[in-house]
Amino acid sequence: MQFELSEEHKMIQSAAKEFAIELKAGVIDRDEQAKFPTEFVKTMGELGFMGIMVPEQYGGSGMDTLAYVLALEEIAKIDASAAVIMSAHNSLVLYGLNEYGTEEQKQKYLVPLAKGEKLGAFALSEPEAGSDASSQHTTAEDKGDYYLLNGTKNWITNGGNADIYLVIAQTHPELGHKGINVLIVEKGTPGFSIGPKENKLGIRSSDTHSLMFTDVKVPKANRIGDDGFGFKFAMKTLDGGRIGIAAQALGIAAGAYELALAYSKERKTFGKPISNHQAIQFKLADMEVDIEAARLLTYKAAWTKDQGLPYGKAAAMAKLKASEVAMQHTIEAVQIHGGYGYVKEYHVERLMRDAKITQIYEGTSEIQRLVIAREILKD
């Protein structure tokens, strides 16, 4: 069993770490103003991060899932908003297009997305159904050579800044989940409108919107896969998405830990650094153990996917553990900072706010436990 990263993986990790240093400038202002990091997203495209797992022939970097996780972790340590923009784009949009798109769809949509010239969004969640892919109220009525799309999608990451949207919709209600399709919809298509930006607790500089579709004509050529493939598409996409969320949560936790560790060595009480006090040492030790456990689960999930093995359970386990560790230990990081932890300039309060969403999107912790339980009870 090999725990050492390859030289290529170390290079990706190092490049992401250097980029994250640039991200730190202005991160507090972007959070306060809920300002989308347009220029940094452009830079991520130039660095190859916005198409990291896409083959080079389609404009990507041709790297594996582990490389993607390593880059996400480093970016999330500094700016979880930038990380979720990158994650939704890669895990939820590019993966599906690369895996299941036609050659024509890849040339038209995947190439500019992988190059970072365009941004993608995945539209699954709805007001009535959340992330339940089997219960879609958005409809795609078959009109011969096109679909007529009607409905509303909620909580869409990159919703306002995306150029290309993958929309899950019901075509054959009588078939239930077997009648669902996934359609490629371009921004600016008549009848497609974008709601106001959500005013969120955390990951504030990533944009989250509702999307409204009113008699939107979508060519049949923009359907991914066979008629009725949408549910399977969504399930496969969410499995990979959970690895991305795990990497984000891992980065948030690790970033908070690094700040807390450094602060504990600088802050003095009773004439000595607080890191000399056992109460603080115990907290730091627990953080280190839990974060390393989350890291191993996340890397294993990425490795499992890269080996072509079933990775649904591994992804759910990584997402569950990493998100809970992120929430628990960003709180501890604030506690170690004391009153300063409540002040924005020390960053840990922002990381604590960012951590909470990792327990919610791509399925709550309870959903991850159900996924894991179903897998272990199969036999």
Do residues 157 and 124 make contact, with C-beta atoms less than 8 angstroms apart?
Answer: no
First to last CA, the chain: 27
Other Cβ atoms less than 10 A from the Cβ of 317: the count is 22
Two structure tokens written together for 208: 């989250």
Distance from C-alpha of 364 to C-alpha of 9, rounded to nearest angstrom: 30
Cα separation, 131 vs 364, whole angstroms: 10
User: 218 by DSSP, 3-state: which?
Assistant: strand
DSSP 225: S
Q: Which of 143, 128, 209 is nearest to 181 (CA)?
A: 143
Phi, psi dihedral angles at 214 (to 5 degrees): -125, 105
| Tokens of residue 237, six digits | 């996409």
Collapsing DSSP states into helix, strand and coil, what is residue 87? helix
Instruction: Give catalytic residues, as residue numbers.
Output: 362
Distance, CA of 75 to CA of 24 (rounded, Å): 10
CA distances to 160, 196, 238 from 126, in Å: 16, 16, 15
Integer Cα distance of 50 and 44 in angstroms: 6
